[in-house]
Structure 1
Amino acid sequence: MTEEKYLATPLDEIPNIVGKLRQHFNKNAPFSYEFRIQQLQQLQKLIEENEKEILAVCAEYFKEDARFAVGFRLFPVKYDLGLMLTNLKEYMKPKSISQPFPMNVKIKKVYSVQGVVGIIAPWNFPVSLLLRPLIGAIAAGNCVVLKPSEVTDNVARLIAKLIPKYLDPKIVQVVCGGPKETNAMINAKLDLCMFTGSTFVGKLIMKACAEHLTPVILELGGKNPVFLDDKLDLKVVAKRIMYGRLLNCGQLCLSPEYVFVSKQNVNTLISELRQVLKEFYGDKIETTQRFSHIVNTNHFRRLKKIRDYYLLNDTESKKIVIGGPNDKEFFFKDNEKERFIPPMVLSNVDFEKDAIMAEE
């Protein structure tokens, strides 16, 4: 692999990587239950033996305490592995299905493998959103090409180092790099492509795959609303909203983005949100390692520009109900060196015109 601004697999090697996986698949598939279990156990071993190193390299980007981060960085991977190791034999069994009238016959549903699966992971959860799809792909009997995000380059380097040590290189390979390497992987004619990330990039992935009629699974970002019934306990609601919104500093496609609440409950909800911020982070949010930071400087500057739009505009600043310049409790300065962006809550946002609503 060549050294650039991020680790990149030479473009001329990528078709060969995919081609060798396909040759092995065509010659040896379907892989036995025992082989699939053995590979999943090896993946489990990879996590167990390298947990500290994995969490440490993630902390380089998100500046979080490993004791806190393990719950959302690695626990989902461990859970999925346990579930699959326990139930794979049952999952592989053919399923009997009754056809309704007028056929009135019983048929068997038999699962078949795809072939060579490409998994393209995002930067916000660079380990779990790479390895969780890998679990399913191995369990289903496929060969896999992993493409970790180039944004979290040190994570990609660690993955590229660990995967060949634990998993059979005849069924799992790693391709590192950015858009060029991703296109080369897709153009090698995968049998299935899985991508998690932004809607913008998802459209590019889908377009590239369409050229080869490659099936695509996309899990994309968006604006996630919360609708509050008047009968709800706002103390509980506030905790759930803040936990979901501030996990990974909001760098999460599932995080709640905006809230619909009746007018009579607006002030109560804002008060409860303030209490939750105190409970979660105290008065040291800029230094606590329980609050993640922004992944890199480019993304920090993008978010700072939006934040400044509200802070520095007399009209727009009136929308800030938590984290504004006159908020003695929760106004903190952003910090580019640390890539720290403090929380801010807005009210009476215009869905059509507000800058914050254009963000994914």
Structure 2
Amino acid sequence: MAELNPEVVAEILKQQHSVINTGRTRSLEFRLQQLQALKKSVQQHEREIIHALHQDLRKPEFEAYSTEVGYFYDSIGYIIKNLHKWIKRERVRTPIVHFGSRSYVYSEPYGSALIIGPFNYPFMLVMDPLVGAIAAGNCAVIKPSEYTPYVSQIISKLIGECFDESYVRVIEGGQEANSVLLQAPFDIIFFTGSVRVGKIVMKAAAEHLTPVVLELGGKSPCIVDQEANLDLAAQRIVWGKYLNTGQTCVAPDYVLAHQAIRKKLIAKMKEYILAFYGTQPRFSPDYGRIVNLKHWDRLNGLLEGAVIAAGGQTDRDDLYIAPTLLDEVNWNDKVMEDEIFGPILPVLEYSDLQQVIDAVNSRPKPLALYLFTNDKQVEQRVMSTVSFGGGCVNDTIMHLVSPYLPFGGVGSSGMGAYHGRHSFDTFSHKKSVLNKSTRINPSFLFPPYNDKKLGLVKRFLK
């Protein structure tokens, strides 16, 4: 491809809009054909994808398949199965003032979608939005993360083999490529990444009044009540935190443990770190690495002066940071300033649930919240008073897996949602149409007005 510049991107958009204007992307048959072709292409390159994930992130095969490739299969299969229902126009109720008429909502594609992906789940977090874009009848431009070059290359390869460039294409590159793409008038932008870059994306989109979906992050709390099953809580927190070496946008960012159980919880989490990764996690085939030196240096800096309850070992040359627990943490510590996005888990202590609620609510709204308790009153109190994108009671991470639940943030953790039907809706404009009766003509609506006509209007509109 020629060097990426505004003129090249303008030509890409021109080609994609030409495809959209033919109307062929709107048919159910076409959409299903493209989705099936995409699934087949991923199946053909499955081993290469898993290998690329290991090269970029040292991701274990189990995690590579279950959280990226397998998740993709599940997502695209669900959408293929249900798409025929979603694309139909939806008839809705019509007010009595429009007696004899009918009301419909049509789902139509936006046009050309720009999908910018992150490094932590570099395959799934571009392919899953792409499935939604195709299902809704759009064309797409995919920009994978430059931090995961091996995955970026295999995505470019399989998309190139699967689709014509005028329909779906991949643009590789770094920040310069992002900057050029964001200058262009795409019809919708789907971005997954940091809050800082999310603001840049939204500002650029505002220049063209382009709708955006922002899947960001934040400090997701994990509250462990004194009535929780501590063994189960420790197991599921350790799994959710150190999955993908902590580089998960919805990983528990910190634990708020009731003072009555904090020490027991830490002890049990140490036991599960040992059970999962052994005495030397760096040699475990089930434990990955930090994506690059920039992120390793940032994470390593969070360990300075910290009280380490478990782990803490690091190796810069190997991009290794052990699964780490921090104890005696307070809200003013450096580790509590920003999202950690790595294998470091601070544990804070609380005595009063209201203090926890107030503390979480006084900070930017998190992408996820996890609560471990067997007390229904505590559950109701937290769920009804704390704002967050989504989460679990007595588990971590797993709310992402359901195609029936919308996934997305709120406030600074993002806007918009996807997964399952919500992916289709996110990439569709909902067009409202009133089909007016020609047999009934409400002449009282038209001038000249008088008191009698006003009286009739008041009968209907009150």
TM-score scaled to structure 2, two decimals?
0.70
- Counterpart of 2:107 (choices 103, 106, 111) is 111
The answer on whether the counterparts of 2:68 and 2:123 sit within 8 Å (CA) in structure 1 is yes
- Say which of 54, 63, 80 aligns to 1:59: 54
1:138 equivalenced with 2:97 (yes/no) = no
Deviation at 1:227, TM superposition (A): 1.7
- Opposite residue 50 of structure 2, the aligned amino acid is L
Relative contact order, CA 8 A, sep 6+: which one is greater?
2
Q: Which amino acid in structure 2 is aligned with residue 56 of structure 1?
A: H
Offset of 1:183 from its aligned partner?
2.3
Q: Classify the secondary structure of the residue corresponding to 1:337.
A: helix
CA 1:257–1:94: 2 relative to 1, 3 Å:
same
The counterpart of 1:24, out of the listed 19, 25, 28, is: 19
- 1:340 matched to which residue of 2? 320
Give the counterpart letter for 1:291 in structure 2.
Answer: Y
Q: What is the Cα deviation at residue 10 of structure 1?
A: 5.5
* Structure with more strand by fraction: 2
Q: Work out whether 1:253 is the aligned partner of 2:249.
A: yes
1:207-242 Cα deviation digits (max 9, x unpaired): 011111111000001000012232220111111111
Gaps of 5+ in 2: 340-462
- Say if 2:279 is the partner of 1:283: yes
Identity within the alignment, %? 34
Cα distance in structure 2, aligned partners of 1:284 and 1:23: 56
Partner in structure 2 of residue 50 of structure 1: 45
Q: How much does 1:142 deviate? A: 0.3
Q: Does 1:294 align with 2:290?
A: yes
SS in 2 for 1:286: helix
C-alpha distance after superposition, 1:81-110 (max 9, x if no partner)? 110111110111122323578878863222
Deviation at 1:169, TM superposition (A): 2.5
1:303 and 2:291 matched: no
Q: Which whole-Å CA distance do the structure 2 matches of 1:177 and 1:11 have between them?
A: 15
Deviation at 1:296, TM superposition (A): 1.2
Q: 1:357 aligns with which of 321, 336, 341?
A: 336
What does residue range 259-270 of structure 1 map to in structure 2 within 5 Å?
A: 259-270=255-266
Task: Please say if residues 15 and 184 of structure 1, whose CA atoms lie closer than 8 Å, have aligned partners that are also in contact.
Answer: no
Contact 2:39 2:73 in 1 (8 A): yes
Unpaired runs of at least 5, structure 1: 3-7, 311-316, 324-330
Query: With structure 1 as the length reference, what TM-score do the two structures score?
Result: 0.89
Matches of 2:38 and 2:22, distance apart in 1: 24
d(CA) in 1 for partners of 2:280, 2:98: 68
Residue 54 of structure 2 aligns to which amino acid in structure 1?
A
Give the partner amino acid of 1:133: P
**Structure 2 SS opposite 1:170:** coil
CA contact (8 A) 1:244 1:256 kept: yes
Equivalent residue runs for 1:1-360 within 5 Å: 1=1, 9=4, 12-98=7-93, 107-307=103-303, 309-310=304-305, 317=306, 319-323=307-311, 333-351=313-331, 353-360=332-339
Cα deviation, 1:36-68, whole Å, max 9, x if unaligned, reads 001001110111110110111111121133244
Q: Tell me, what secondary structure is at the counterpart of 1:74?
A: helix
SS of the counterpart of 2:284?
Answer: coil
Q: Which amino acid aligns with 2:308?
A: I
Task: Tell me what 1:5 maps to.
Answer: none
Greater mean deviation of Cα atoms: 86-95 or 127-136: 86-95
What secondary structure, in the 3-state scheme, does the structure 2 residue paired with 1:194 have? strand
CA contact (8 A) 1:14 1:175 kept: no
- 1:267 aligns to what SS in structure 2? helix
Contact 1:18 1:145 in 2 (8 A): no
Hey, what's the Cα distance between the residues in 1 that align with 2:299 and 2:66?
Answer: 26
Are residues 349 and 101 of structure 1, via their aligned partners in 2, closer, same or farther at CA, if it must alter by over 3 Å?
farther
Q: Secondary structure, in 3 states, of the residue corresponding to 1:15?
A: helix
Greater radius of gyration (CA): 2
Determine if contact 1:11/1:181 at 8 Å carries over to the other structure: no
Name the CA shift for 1:96/1:345 in 2 (closer, same or farther; >3 Å).
same
Deviates more, 1:279-288 or 1:8-17: 8-17
Query: How far did residue 271 of structure 1 move?
Result: 1.1
